[in-house]
């Protein structure tokens, strides 16, 4: 007697291109892309290519929005096969050619891996480089938008972004608001865009005993603790947050603030905090991984994210999954996460509104268990949806 066995599905070969991954000099950068790549690597053969613009060491030409640094070809990240490389550029001056130059550096590396499809996260210049490399190899390319790469575009960046999205075989967004922006602002046909909402590590982000977390972190048991997690850059609303904290803290001696992360504004923030007179009530533990972030959220009463722009802010999902209410700005896909049961939305760049909302959130009686229970989408779900998007593009290519 013979047994019929269904054939084992062949694992796809996917080249994933992104400039945004956690690196030693910026450990919080690209954490969600790392999680996506790690989960996708369990379903397919994935190699992650990390393009890095190499700028000359000329005073005054350093980028002002992110921590600059280069990792070498020996760079490794847990759970993924990663290949880091560099290509030359000048801040601002080479913007129009970065996609092409990056593509020329990327193409031979991708060719050696021989993927069936290229998947890029970050539209320009890296998505453009990925499209260029994919065209040279004769394979399709999907470009994924993450946030400011579609919401914060001006000048020549608008043209470069529009051109990259038009050349991609498909476009992924992390929120429905971003999908609408792709079609409305950049003319991408709606049928070409798929929204794949990010997940969280449910084994890390869950409710914790607040007293235990505070004892571990050295926070007063009766403190009113507000936590911010993310990059220290102007567009995250850092100045508005420190000013709102100063006002609230002058009226409430129990108020404390934790700024978890790092960035180009760190020295300025330290100065602002000291000038506010509340330095002793401000914690700056630095950048940390998911486990450390979850502990600070677990110790807090409110998480805040007063950004000027966002795609789909995962830290908001992580906060709510921990049972921590959120005060955030109504930008990007944040409205798709925050509702009356788990937080308060305000307009960006409005210090008065931020002050009022933080005060209200600290005073309100929240159903912490209910809000946490509603957040259960994991990274394996994201990987399944992402692989399905790749399959659709490959099927469309196969059928002409």
Question: For the residues of 126-189, what is the DSSP string, one character each?
Answer: IIHHHHHHHHHHT--EEEE--SHHHHS--THHHHHHHHHHHHSSEEEESSHHHHHHHHHHH---
Beta carbons of 303 and 342 less than 8 angstroms apart: no
> In which element (H, E) is residue 49 found?
strand 45-54
Q: Which CATH superfamily is domain 13-199+379-398 in?
A: Glycogen Phosphorylase B; (3.40.50.2000)
Sign of CA dihedral 142, 377, 42, 79: positive
Taking only the tens place, the pLDDT of each residue in 274-332 is 999 999 999 999 999 899 999 999 999 999 999 998 888 999 999 999 999 999 999 98
Q: Which residue has the tokens 């066995």?
A: 5
Taking only the tens place, the pLDDT of each residue in 222-246 is 999 999 999 999 999 999 999 999 9
Tokens, residue 241:
């947050």
Q: Which CATH superfamily is domain 210-373 in?
A: Glycogen Phosphorylase B; (3.40.50.2000)
Given strand 255-262, what is the order of strands in its sheet? 282-283, 255-262, 224-231, 302-305, 326-329, 343-346
Count of Cβ atoms closer than 10 Å to residue 336 Cβ: 17
- Check residue 23 and report its DSSP letter: B
Q: Give me the pLDDT at residue 311, please.
A: 84
Segments of the chain assigned to CATH 3.40.50.2000: 13-199+379-398, 210-373
Q: Give me the pLDDT at residue 390, please.
A: 98
Ranges 36-45, 146-155, 187-196: which has the least confidence: 146-155
Percent with pLDDT over 70 in the chain: 95
């Amino acid at each position: 007697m013979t047994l019929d066995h269904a054939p084992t599905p062949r694992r796809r070969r996917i080249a994933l291109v992104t400039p945004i991954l956690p690196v030693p000099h910026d450990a919080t950068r690209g954490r969600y892309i790392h999680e996506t790549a790690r989960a996708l690597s369990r379903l397919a053969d994935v190699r992650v290519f990390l393009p890095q613009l190499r700028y000359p060491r000329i005073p005054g030409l350093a980028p002002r929005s992110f921590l600059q640094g280069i990792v070498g070809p020996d760079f490794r990240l847990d759970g993924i096969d990663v290949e880091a490389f560099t290509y030359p550029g000048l801040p601002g001056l080479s913007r129009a050619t970065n996609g092409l130059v990056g593509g020329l550096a990327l193409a031979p590396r991708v060719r050696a891996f021989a993927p069936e499809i290229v998947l890029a996260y970050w539209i320009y210049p890296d998505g453009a480089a990925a499209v260029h490399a994919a065209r040279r190899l004769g394979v399709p390319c999907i470009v994924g938008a993450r946030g400011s790469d579609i919401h914060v575009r001006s000048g020549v960046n608008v043209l470069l972004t529009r051109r990259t999205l038009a050349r991609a075989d498909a476009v992924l967004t992390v929120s429905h608001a971003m999908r609408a922006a792709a079609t409305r602002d950049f003319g991408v046909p709606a049928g070409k865009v798929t929204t794949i909402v990010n997940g969280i590590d449910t084994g890390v982000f869950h409710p914790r005993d607040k007293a235990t977390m505070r004892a571990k972190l050295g926070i007063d048991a009766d403190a009113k603790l507000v936590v911010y997690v993310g990059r220290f850059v102007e567009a995250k609303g850092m100045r508005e947050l420190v000013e709102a904290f100063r006002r609230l803290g002058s009226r409430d001696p129990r108020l404390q603030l934790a700024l978890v992360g790092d960035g180009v504004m760190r020295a300025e923030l330290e100065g602002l905090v000291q000038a506010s007179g509340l330095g002793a009530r401000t914690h700056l533990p630095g950048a940390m991984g998911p486990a450390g972030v979850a502990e600070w959220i677990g110790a807090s009463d409110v998480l805040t994210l007063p950004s000027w722009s966002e795609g789909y802010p995962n830290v908001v999902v992580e906060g709510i999954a921990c049972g921590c209410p959120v005060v955030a700005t109504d930008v990007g896909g944040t409205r798709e996460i925050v509702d009356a049961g788990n937080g308060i939305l305000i307009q960006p760049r409005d210090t008065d509104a931020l002050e009022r909302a933080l005060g209200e959130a600290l005073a309100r009686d929240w159903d912490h268990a209910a809000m946490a229970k509603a957040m259960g989408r994991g990274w394996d779900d994201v990987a399944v949806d992402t692989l399905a998007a790749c399959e659709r593009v490959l099927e469309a290519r196969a059928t002409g």
